[in-house]
Structure 1
Amino acid sequence: MADTPSKRTSRLADLAPSRHPWPWGLAAALGLLLVLTFALFALVEPLEPQGEPLTATPAFAADLDGWQKVGDHGRFETDALGGLRMSNDEPGTVVLVRRRLAVPEGATVLRASARVTAEAIVDGPEPWDAARLVLLGLDEHGQGVYDRPHVFASPKGDRSAYEVERDFTMVGRVHDLLLVVELRNATGTITVDDLLIQPMREGAFFGTAHEAIEISWGVWFLFLAFGLMRGVTHWSGRLALLATGATMAVALMLPGEVRTLVVLALEGPLAMSPLAPDDLAHFVMFAGLALVLRLARPNDPLWVQAVGLSATAALTEVVQLFAVERGPSVADWVYDTTGIVLGLLLYETVRRLHATLRPERT
């Protein structure tokens, strides 16, 4: 029998915001946050120059004044425009020039640009054996910050020429910058022109808006967690949800440098895994969240939890815009959603198997 107009009106009234203010309020706040977030990153310039550039034009004087040369067997040439042409014909040797530059106080980002040309580049056997432009942040003791260089450019092949510009976020206290042009156990010729390193800092308006919206996202996720808790009656379920959410929040906002160190530390123990450590982490975390949520709220429709968790995974990718050297990734969302689906299917399989094997009570 078809619903009468009065019945349909009654069902629509049951969904009115006056009857369910919590989800409607969360949805409205989410829409506003999404608009503000995309407007901030699309319309507001985040960086402004901090002081003078660290390198002058021309960057390389006729005698490489201020640069330290390594490798007597290599060939070093400079042109009238201040470009550097460096060659190496001996495999297994290192040819490089490097210069130490002071980073001004308050600079949080380095914007590096150059025109790079490469000829007959043949890399060595190791991943770090290559023609490269490298930026390495140094602390006040001259030690590498995180001991991991930023590769500004790494040309390859018989012949290539391109303009490159990159921004590097300086995580930790960077006192000096070591700028290196190198042929490390690689042969061929690399030419660098128009080299410019400009310290940058976050714009005042962007910084204030960035922090305000980031805090708002945190508050929104707290209200979402509180809403989920309202439907959980047992304390152990609430504790499990809280612990899972807190763990995911920490992993979500890890700076890019720290995340890379964690991934490198896990590459050995997880060498036999079909997934990379960071992909496996996405898969496992959201599979675990799906299991915990299903255990804590078993009466929710399965499809509602699946869609809601997948949407939450997409929102966590958006929030990574606020993490240092992180950003949204469709691939990560796919791993998240795959973990969610398999986590929910695992719960349903175990539940039905338990119901089948459980002896009938008399």
Structure 2
Amino acid sequence: MILRSIVVLIVCAATICFFNYFPQFDYFDNELLSDPNFSNGLSNWMPSEIGVEIQPTETRTHSGDSANLRLSTQPSVTLSAPDFDHAIHLSQAIPLVPTGSLLHVSSYIKTLDVIEGARPWETARIVLLAYDHFGKAIYNQPHLLISKNGTSDWTYHERVFRVNENTTKLQLIIQLIHAKGQLEVKSPSIRQVKPNIAFERYRCWFIAIWTCLGLWIAFPLVCRAAQSRNQAAILVIGIGILAGVLMPQAIKEYIGDMLWSSADMAAVHDHGEPMRVFKLTTSLPELDKYKYGHFVMFALLCVAASKRSPFNPPIFQTVQLTILFAVATEVLQLFAPGRGPQLGDIIIDTAGIFTGSVLSMLSRLRKH
């Protein structure tokens, strides 16, 4: 078991390094946005009549015991709405590229006290919107870069979108529609990309490595599951977690909507393909039905794994192995279409594991 654990850790680290640092796309040289840094103000953009203004980005440099304020050369744009009655937006049409082209869209954003309106899309958003031959917006294909509420510091967001065959016009829109608060954006960018062939080749090798590793670990578990009901429960829960982890985002959301119906079906399935990177940030992701499901499943797995015998293995060893499984499943999401693994998800899984361990210890105390 120790050897298997070490091998899993090594493969996890190698996979994260590969996806985070090996280039996934080859970028075309041309930036498709005109004046993305707002150096000419809003002359290349189409703002709403109110609520949009340019302001310099402030950074602080320290000199001795005093802090001197220095203005950055890259200004930002701020969208402000004091109430829910206005549609604040800033947009720019971009040159049309051939059908099937991939567009990498990115931007830094910052929010302050954003409160969404009555509908899910009435919030702080950045979208890459396509229009058909009739000039009608195509909302049933991926178009959302970011949608955010509340308050957050500067964060970088990026996604890849494929140009639909019916597209006759493309437009980047920064919006605060019937939502209250403030959205600040800097350095938006749209660049045409194409897949890096070398990345795809090495990705296939990593899939083969993970497959072999999974078979090496699963074989003894399957053998023991045939002899023990509790081992079978551990195996079933583990398979259930893996099925949820490796499920493509579109199928995951479809099943989620079937189980927990949504009042606004048009508000889902609109994200572009995320960059396949492991987000090494400890900030917790937004809690939803899927995160609660992860919490419960890992709690159940820890409870089942702790019942193999009264005091063997020690509970801390069970917790360690279950956390390692949580890390491995999160890393595996790098291979699932549309999924975005991050360190914050592991924190949620770990919370479920510790909850399960506490329940197991309480159960043991009652029996003894």
Same fold (TM over 0.5): yes
When residues 289 and 96 of structure 1 are mapped into structure 2, their CA distance, relative to the original with a 3 A threshold, is same
Residue 319, structure 1, aligned to residue 314, structure 2? no
One-letter code aligned to 2:326:
A
Give the equivalent residue in structure 2 for 1:144. Answer: 139
Residue 313 (structure 2) pairs with residue 301 (structure 1): yes
Aligned to 1:8: none
Return the match for 1:277 from 289, 293, 296: 289
- The structure that is helix-richer by fraction is 1
Write the distance in 2 (CA, Å) between the matches of 1:320 and 1:121. 32
Q: Which structure 2 residues correspond to residues 1-362 of structure 1 after superposition, within 5 A?
A: 23=1, 26-27=4-5, 29-30=7-8, 32-49=10-27, 52-57=30-35, 74=50, 92-96=85-89, 98=91, 99=93, 102=96, 104-105=98-99, 107-108=101-102, 110-113=104-107, 125-126=117-118, 128-129=121-122, 132-136=125-129, 143-145=138-140, 149-151=144-146, 166-170=157-161, 174-175=164-165, 176=167, 177-185=170-178, 196-234=189-227, 240-255=233-248, 266=260, 276-294=288-306, 300-303=312-315, 304-323=317-336, 324-329=338-343, 331-344=344-357, 346=359
Cα RMSD for the two superposed structures: 5.2
Larger Rg: 1
2:69 aligned residue: none
Q: Which amino acid aligns with 1:40?
A: F
Return 5+ residue gaps in structure 2 as ranges.
Answer: 55-75, 264-286
State the distance in 2 between where 1:250 and 1:221 align: 13
For the residues of structure 2 that align with 1:335 and 1:153, how far apart are their CA atoms? 20
The DSSP-based 3-state class of the residue aligned with 2:347 is helix
Letter in 1 for 2:224: G
The answer on whether the counterparts of 1:103 and 1:174 sit within 8 Å (CA) in structure 2 is: no
Checking the alignment, whether the CA contact within 8 Å between 2:125 and 2:146 is kept in structure 1 is yes
State whether residues 134 and 180 of structure 1, in contact with CA within 8 Å, keep that contact through their aligned partners in structure 2: yes
Q: Is the 8 A contact 2:123 2:179 kept in 1?
A: yes
* Aligned residue type for 1:281: G
Moved more, 239-248 or 218-227: 239-248
Q: Distance in 1 between matches of 2:300 and 2:51?
A: 57
**Using a 3 Å threshold, how does the CA distance of structure 1 residues 325 and 104 change in structure 2: closer, same or farther?**
farther
Deviation at 1:285, TM superposition (A): 0.9
- TM score, norm. by length of structure 1: 0.61
SS class of match (1:211) = helix
Change (3 A) 1:46 1:286: same
Does the C-alpha gap of structure 1 residues 248 and 89 become closer, same or farther in structure 2, counting only changes over 3 Å? closer
Q: How many residues align?
A: 314
Q: What is the TM-score normalised by the length of structure 2?
A: 0.60
Q: What letter matches 1:46 in structure 2? A: Q
For the 8 Å contact 2:225–2:232, the answer to whether it is kept is: no
| Residues 198/240 of structure 1: CA separation in 2 closer, same or farther (3 Å cut) | same
Distance 2:113 2:321 in 1: 50
Distance 1:262 1:232 in 2: 29
Aligned to 1:17: none
> Contact conserved, 1:255 with 1:326, CA < 8 A, in 2?
no
Gaps of 5+ in 1: 1-22, 270-274, 357-362
